[in-house]
Amino acid sequence: MQSHAAPPSTQAAPPTPQETTMLNIDNLQVAVSGNEILHGITLHLPAGEVHALMGPNGSGKSTLACALAGKPGYQVTGGTATFRGTDLLAQLPEARARAGLFLGFQYPVELPGVSNAMLLKQAVNARRRQRGETEMDAMDFLVAVKERMAFMEMDETLLERGVNEGFSGGEKKRNEILQMLMLEPDLAILDETDSGLDIDALQVVARGINHLRSPSRAVLLITHYQRLLDHVAPDRVHVLADGRIVRSGGPELAKELEARGYGWLTGDVAGVEAR
């Protein structure tokens, strides 16, 4: 096994006072195909913090992630969302990404024929151009990506393979975190990155997330289970049920959910499944 020396990581610009809330969601309502899924979400995620968003299946967790990232078909019918003080919802999805928002997908798609290296290079350079920086030198890129792959315990051959093409479930999730480490986003929204991972992979993924943690960044961890939170300690935990945040609290809330399920919060049997 290779050493897991942490790759160097550039810090995002220190937050200015008005920016200390990285993500500000106010009374956000989102509909898909005319059906309202989110009925008014309010959530404030300050820089430097990791928040966990938990909840039973179908509660709207992924809908929130998709709406924030700008996925077509997710229609915002009310409320606001700002990212570092700017209106997030007015921007194209790619502009949101270039500005420093990262969505880790629950089900990363395959891009046949497009090598992982190619996607990463394009993504990194799109972000650098946005910041007025020159494109990354090919050698520097290779060094940076290999360092991060070692950190994520990924086989280097995955670099030349098509993006997620024939990757195992675990490889796909590690690949998402690898992209995140390369892009060094200010705000990472990770949608069930822990699902489908064995315990070793879970630890590697958690290491990646922890590595990104810094006073100038924020992470929204969407998860079903407590187990990722054993490795990535959240500052706050929110419980989403039926399109509303029904409870917010400290890390102890996640432990309580683990013990009691969601039923006591949602008043139905959804919690049984989550246990």
Residues that bind other proteins (CB under 8 A): 69-72, 92-94, 97-98, 102-103, 105, 108-115, 118-119, 122-123, 126-127, 130, 162, 179, 183
The full DSSP string for 207-244 is HHHHHH--TT-EEEEEESSSGGGGTS--SEEEEEETTE
Decide: 87 and 247 in contact? Cβ < 8 Å. Answer: no
Q: Is 29 strand, coil or helix?
A: strand
Q: What are the helix and strand counts (H, E) for the chain?
A: 9, 12
Spell out the residues 6+ positions from residue 16 whose beta carbon is closer than 8 angstroms to its own. none
Given the complex with other proteins, which of 126 and 142 has the nearer CB atom? 126
Provide, rounded to whole angstroms, the least separation between the CB of residue 51 and other proteins: 20
| Separation of alpha carbons 136 and 145, rounded Å | 12
Specify the DSSP class assigned to residue 156: G
Task: List residues bridging with 53 in a β-sheet.
Answer: 222, 238
Task: Indicate the residue among 99 and 232 with the shorter CB distance to other proteins.
Answer: 99
d(CA 21, CA 11): 17
Residue number, 119 or 142, with CB nearest to other proteins: 119
Nearer to other proteins, 127 or 211 (CB): 127
User: Least distance from C-beta 68 to other proteins, angstroms?
Assistant: 10
Q: Rounded to the nearest whole angstrom, what is the least distance from the CB of residue 110 to other proteins in the complex? A: 8
Q: How far is the CB of 126 from other proteins (least distance, A)?
A: 4
Least spacing, CB of residue 181 vs other proteins, in Å: 13
Kindly state the greatest CA–CA separation across the chain. Answer: 56
Q: How far is the CB of 111 from other proteins (least distance, A)?
A: 6
> Toward other proteins, which CB reaches closer, 61 or 127?
127
Nearest distance, CB of residue 191 and other proteins, angstroms:
11
Instruction: Write out the two tokens for 33.
Output: 């195909």
Q: Burial, 199: exposed, middle or buried (Cβ in 10 Å; 0-12, 13-18, 19+)?
A: exposed
Smaller CB distance to other proteins: residue 174 or 247?
A: 174
Nearer to other proteins, 106 or 226 (CB): 106
Contact 257, 54 (CB under 8 A): yes
Amino acid at 43: L
